[in-house]
Chains A and B, each alone.
Chain A
Amino acid sequence: MSAYGDSQLNKHWIALLLVLLYQPMSSVMATEFAELDRALQIHGFLTQAYVKTTENSFFGDSQDGSWDFRELGVNTSYRFSPQIFASAQLLSRDAGEMYDGSLDLDYAQIDTTLYMQDADRFGVILGRYKNPFGLYNDTRDVAATRPSIFMPQAIYWDRVRNMVLSNDGAQLFGDLQIDSHRLSLRLIGGRTPIDENVEKSYLNPVLDPKLKQDGLTVGGRLLYEWDGGRFRLAYSSASLQLDGETNMLPDGTIDIDYRVVSAEYNSGNWSLTAEYMQEPLDYTGFAGALDIADTTLDGYYLQGTYRLRDDLELIARYEESHYDKGDKRGEKTGQRLGLDAHNFYSRFSTLGILWEATDGLILRTEFSRVDGTIFLSNLENPSPNDKSREWNLFSLLISYSF
């Protein structure tokens, strides 16, 4: 399902971007192009994965083996001066029933640095930008920058990906470097694209829910880095309010907060990463019928990677998600809402290997054991009681980026 595909604004932007991409190739002389090359860059990526599960559907009909996970992106950027920079990316993402591969404008932004002194800067970004949440959100769809075939679902849910992916609005950024310490602050304010994945995750699909954002998403991230990224620590947060309409209940609103604490330590061939997320949900209106769903979700993961060789990396990760942070095995929630407990938690262990075959080509394979079904999409697994609590996941991925 595409978040932006239908918007008029989106179509205009895509048309403009295609013209811009095409222009340098056709009408500019080769010598001029070499000059332009210094300021103009074009990059992209193509990713294809294969997903096989023993039970349940994840990124397609995975019980039969699914090829329905594909990501294509192309971007262009132009540096007008050290202070002014523009960039835009088109993305097609096919992810089972969750995303249909239609072309989206992933970001289109103008970045103006108002103050610059060596590595210190302060400035503003306008347009559609990727939200700087946690360590990975802003490049979560690029196989070469994420840590594994699938993002850690405990923090980076695929079933509600668009709720945190990007914003249309403004972002303030500031970087401060003191010796080997670097502080980086980003403050965001804008409108969040809401799609059917979000609607059918926060409201029961049988209610035929429609959600519209009320006001702006506001939030930001404070990141501390030491010794060129040897140690990184971050706090991210965002809040938004959604107005909901259903076919059965009076209208209501959902208040969503999203907070992530992140830490990473890199030492030679080792890298250790941990992130913890909390998401308080507050339903009001709907004639009080959904007050029962008020909760604070939480989740975390611990991840270790080890470089065996310059081009080979092992990864191991354990993650847990809970619908109610006080009910780790979903038993109380299950009883209250009349559903199996496994719908309200998951415990997820993954082992995998990455091979960087050439500068741009990577291959990954991973195996996971999962207990619980909380992060499975309602669009892919429509009936909550048909999901199986324990399942295994095997996946392969090939990706080329330039």
Chain B
Amino acid sequence: MTTAYRAFAVGLLLCFCNTASSVELVANRDIDSEIVSQNTLRSIFSMRMTQWPNGTPIRVFVMGDKTKQHSEFTKHILGVFPHQLRRAWNRQIYSGMGQAPIKVQSETEMLEQIENTSGAIGYLPEDLINERVRRLSVE
């Protein structure tokens, strides 16, 4: 019985890890790190962390809550649901403790903003990522 549960749990984990996420984490070239931990990433995207280790202010860019890209990013890279992230932002925005991320309307706008904004972080589909942005991996 226990073995069956264990096999099921391992199966779930595999499913979770193997889910191909079509978006990747990207940042402006002025960010010198290439790897961020998932905990740091959650602090950044829940708008609690406001500056990069090198002192540059963090600018967070996201697409609409209901877009496929945003949903894939939050579920597969951050490991939370979009509605949980939205509530975390709302708790900060309406209690005066923090700000909302900057919303972009399209992938091309996301690319432009990440390229041109110091300290920017966001996500992009594989095929749009070029050498003018930095790809970050999550450990």
A residues in contact (CB < 8 Å) with B: 37-38, 41, 43, 45, 73, 75, 77, 79, 81-83, 85, 87-89, 107, 109, 111, 113, 116, 118-119, 129-130, 138-139, 142, 144-145, 175, 177, 179-180, 228-229, 266, 268-269, 307, 310-311, 313, 356, 358-359, 401
B66: nearest residue on chain A (CB-CB)?
A359
Pairs across A and B, CB under 8 Å, 19 listed: A41-B93, A83-B51, A87-B96, A89-B94, A89-B96, A107-B95, A111-B97, A116-B51, A139-B94, A144-B94, A145-B91, A175-B48, A177-B39, A179-B39, A228-B78, A228-B79, A310-B83, A359-B66, A401-B94
How many residues does chain B have at the interface if contact means C-beta atoms less than 8 Å apart?
41
Report whether B100 and A41 are in contact in the complex, using a CB–CB cutoff of 8 Å: yes
Report whether A77 and B96 are in contact in the complex, using a CB–CB cutoff of 8 Å: yes
B67: nearest residue on chain A (CB-CB)?
A359
A68 to B83, CA, bound (A): 29
* CB neighbours of A118 from chain B (8 A): 40, 43, 49, 53
* CB neighbours of B100 from chain A (8 A): 41, 43
Report whether A130 and B93 are in contact in the complex, using a CB–CB cutoff of 8 Å: no
Report whether A142 and B90 are in contact in the complex, using a CB–CB cutoff of 8 Å: yes
Report whether B96 and A75 are in contact in the complex, using a CB–CB cutoff of 8 Å: yes
- Stretch of B3-11, B24-32, B56-64, B127-135 on the interface side: B56-64
Query: For the complex, is B82 an interface residue (Cβ under 8 Å from A)?
Result: yes
A310 to B86, CA, bound (A): 12
Report whether B43 and A119 are in contact in the complex, using a CB–CB cutoff of 8 Å: yes
Query: For the complex, is B76 an interface residue (Cβ under 8 Å from A)?
Result: no
Partner pick for A119 among B49, B64, B98, CB 8 A cutoff: B49
Report whether A138 and B84 are in contact in the complex, using a CB–CB cutoff of 8 Å: no
Report whether B93 and A43 are in contact in the complex, using a CB–CB cutoff of 8 Å: yes
B95: nearest residue on chain A (CB-CB)?
A138
What would 18 more interface pairs be, CB under 8 Å, given A75-B93, A75-B96, A228-B80?
A: A38-B102, A41-B100, A75-B94, A79-B50, A79-B99, A82-B50, A85-B99, A107-B96, A118-B53, A119-B48, A129-B96, A130-B95, A142-B90, A175-B48, A228-B78, A266-B84, A307-B81, A313-B83
How many Å from the CB of A359 to the closest CB on chain B? 5
* CB neighbours of B50 from chain A (8 A): 79, 82-83, 85, 113, 116
Query: For the complex, is B69 an interface residue (Cβ under 8 Å from A)?
Result: no
A310 to B84, CA, bound (A): 11
* CB neighbours of A175 from chain B (8 A): 48
Assuming the contacts A81-B57, A118-B49, A229-B88, asked whether A307 and B83 have C-beta atoms less than 8 A apart, the reply is yes
A186: nearest residue on chain B (CB-CB)?
B97
Report whether B94 and A109 are in contact in the complex, using a CB–CB cutoff of 8 Å: no
How many Å from the CB of B2 to the closest CB on chain A? 21
How many Å from the CB of A35 to the closest CB on chain B? 11
How many Å from the CB of B38 to the closest CB on chain A? 8
A141: nearest residue on chain B (CB-CB)?
B94
A119: nearest residue on chain B (CB-CB)?
B43
Report whether B40 and A119 are in contact in the complex, using a CB–CB cutoff of 8 Å: yes
How many Å from the CB of A34 to the closest CB on chain B? 11
How many Å from the CB of B67 to the closest CB on chain A? 10
How many Å from the CB of B13 to the closest CB on chain A? 14
How many Å from the CB of B52 to the closest CB on chain A? 9
Interface centre among A83, A229, A266 (most CB of B within 10 A): A229
B92: nearest residue on chain A (CB-CB)?
A139
How many Å from the CB of A79 to the closest CB on chain B? 6
* CB neighbours of A356 from chain B (8 A): 83
Report whether B83 and A130 are in contact in the complex, using a CB–CB cutoff of 8 Å: no
* CB neighbours of A38 from chain B (8 A): 59, 102, 117
Partner pick for B91 among A43, A88, A139, A177, CB 8 A cutoff: A139
